[in-house]
Chain A
Amino acid sequence: MKIARREAWTGRVLLLVLMAATLMPFLSLLVTALHPSGSYPLGLEWPDDPQWGNFATAFTAARMTELLKSSVLIVLGVVPISLVVATMAGFAIGHLRIPGRRFVFLAFALGLTLPFEGIITPLYYLVRDMGVLNTRWAIILPLIGLFMPFSVFWMRAHFVNMPEELSESARIDGAGTWQLFWRVHVPLAAPATSSLAILLFLWTWNQFLLAIVLVDDPLQRTMSGALGAFQGQWGTDIPLLCAGSLLILTPTLTVFLIFQRRFVTALLQGSLKG
Chain B
Amino acid sequence: MKAAVKRRNESRWAGWLFVLPAAAFYVMFVIQPLVMTVQYSLYKWDGIGVATWTGVANYLRVFTDPDLFAAILNAVKLIVFFSAVPVVLGLAIAATIRRIAATRLALVARTVIFLPQVIPLVAAGITWSWLLSSTGLVNQLLTAIGLEKITRAWLGDFSTALPAVGVIGAWVLLGLCTLLLLAGMSKIDPALYEAARLDGAGAFREFFSITLPSLRQEIGVCVTVTVVAALASFDIVYISTQGGPGNASMVPGLEIYYLAFSERQVGLASALAVILTVLVIACALPIQWLTRDRES
Tell me if B127 and A25 are in contact (CB < 8 A): yes
As a 0/1 sequence over residues 250 to 265 of chain A, the CB contacts with chain B under 8 angstroms (1 = contact) are: 0011001100100110
A114 to B277, CA, bound (A): 6
Q: A207-234: contact bitstring with B at CB < 8 Å (1 yes, 0 no)?
A: 0110011000000000111011001000
Q: How far is the CA of A213 from the CA of B256 in the complex (A)?
A: 12
Given contacts A228-B238, A242-B130, contact A22 B116 (CB under 8 A): yes
Quick one: which of A152, A209, A225, A238 has the most chain B CB within 10 A? A209
Centre residue among B114, B203, B224 by max chain A CB count within 10 A: B114
Q: Interface segment, B77-85, B92-100, B154-162?
A: B92-100
> Does B117 contact A113, Cβ atoms closer than 8 Å?
no
Q: Is A267 an interface residue (CB 8 A)?
A: yes
User: Which residue of B15, B31, B127, B257 is within 8 Å of A177 (Cβ)?
Assistant: B15
Choose one: B26, B127, B140; the contact of A111 (CB below 8 Å): B26
Chain B positions within 8 Å of A121 at CB level = 37, 40, 256, 260, 266, 269-270, 273
Residue B30 at the A interface, CB < 8 A?
yes
Within 8 A of A (CB), among B166-197: 171, 174-176, 178-180, 183
Rounded to whole Å, the gap between the CB of A5 and the closest CB of chain B is: 10
Whether B208 is near chain A, meaning CB under 8 Å from some CB there, is no
Contact with A along B206-247 (1 / 0, CB 8 A): 000000000001100110110010011011001100000000
Give, as a whole number of angstroms, the nearest-CB distance from A161 to chain B: 13
A169-217, CB < 8 A from B: 177, 181, 202, 205-206, 208-209, 212-213
Could you tell me the distance between the alpha carbons of A91 and B22 in the complex, rounded to whole angstroms?
12
Cα A7 to Cα B178 in complex, Å, equals: 17
Known: A24-B137, A113-B224, A242-B130. A123 touches B29 (CB 8 A): yes
Q: Across the interface, which residues of A come within 8 angstroms of B163, CB to CB?
A: none
Q: For the complex, is A56 an interface residue (Cβ under 8 Å from B)?
A: no
Query: How many pairs, one residue from A and one from B, have CB atoms within 8 Å of each other in the complex?
Result: 293
Consensus secondary structure, chain B interface: helix
Q: Are A208 and B130 in contact (CB under 8 A)?
A: no
Find out whether the CB atom of B261 lies under 8 angstroms from the CB atom of A124.
Answer: yes
A87 CA / B55 CA spacing, docked (Å): 42
Q: Are B11 and A245 in contact (CB under 8 A)?
A: no
Contact string against A for B residues 87-120, beta-carbon threshold 8 Å, 1 for contact and 0 otherwise: 0000001001111100001101111111111111
- Report the nearest A residue to B111, measured CB to CB: A260
Given contacts A42-B135, A92-B16, whether A148 and B127 have CB atoms under 8 Å apart is no
Known contacts A4-B99, A116-B232: A43-B139 contact under CB 8 Å: yes
A7 contacts B99, C-beta separation under 8 Å: yes
Q: Are B33 and A126 in contact (CB under 8 A)?
A: yes
Within the assembled complex, what's the spacing in Å between the Cα atoms of A120 and B277?
12
Bound Cα distance from A41 to B133, whole angstroms: 11
Measured between C-beta atoms, what is the minimum distance from B188 to chain A in Å?
16
Q: In the complex, which residues of chain B have a beta carbon less than 8 angstroms from the beta carbon of A92?
A: 15-16, 18-19
Shortest distance from the beta carbon of B106 to any chain A beta carbon, whole Å: 6
The yes or no answer to A88 lying at the interface (CB within 8 A) is yes
Closest Cβ of chain A to B245, distance in Å, is 16
- Given A22-B113, A267-B176, residue A224 in contact with residue B26 (CB < 8 A): no
Bound: A116/B126 CA distance, A: 22
* Bound complex: CA A105 to CA B195 (Å): 43
Cα A31 to Cα B284 in complex, Å, equals 41
Say if the beta carbon of B59 comes within 8 Å of chain A: no
* Pick from B15, B30, B112: contact of A22, CB under 8 Å: B112
Which A residues are in CB contact (< 8 Å) with B253?
A: 115, 117, 209
Residues of A within 8 A of B225 (CB): 271, 274
Q: How far is the CA of A271 from the CA of B221 in the complex (A)?
A: 7
A99 contacts B by Cβ under 8 Å = yes
Please determine whether A145 and B28 come into contact, CB atoms closer than 8 angstroms.
Answer: yes
Looking across the interface, which residue of chain B has its beta carbon closest to that of A98?
A: B15
> Contact at A117–B273, with CB atoms within 8 Å?
yes
Contact of A86 among B22, B34, B40 (CB under 8 A): B22
- Asked if A122 contacts B22 (CB within 8 A), the reply is no
Return the contact of B123 from the options A18, A32, A248, A264 (Cβ within 8 A).
Answer: A248
22 of the cross-chain contacts (CB-CB < 8 Å) are: A8-B99, A11-B106, A12-B105, A15-B97, A43-B136, A85-B25, A96-B11, A98-B15, A104-B19, A114-B280, A114-B281, A115-B253, A118-B276, A119-B273, A121-B37, A121-B269, A121-B273, A177-B11, A208-B122, A209-B234, A249-B119, A271-B222
Q: Which 3 A-B pairs have the closest CB atoms?
A: A145-B29, A43-B140, A115-B232
Chain A residues packing against B (C-beta within 8 Å): 4, 7-8, 10-12, 14-16, 18-19, 21-26, 28-29, 32, 40-44, 84-86, 88-89, 91-93, 96-99, 104, 107-108, 111, 113-126, 141-142, 144-146, 148-149, 151-152, 177, 181, 202, 205-206, 208-209, 212-213, 223-225, 227-228, 231, 238, 241-242, 245, 248-249, 252-253, 256-257, 260, 263-264, 267-268, 271-272, 274
Beyond contacts A92-B18, A121-B256, A272-B180: 6 other A-B pairs, Cβ-Cβ < 8 A, are A7-B99, A44-B140, A126-B32, A148-B26, A208-B238, A238-B130
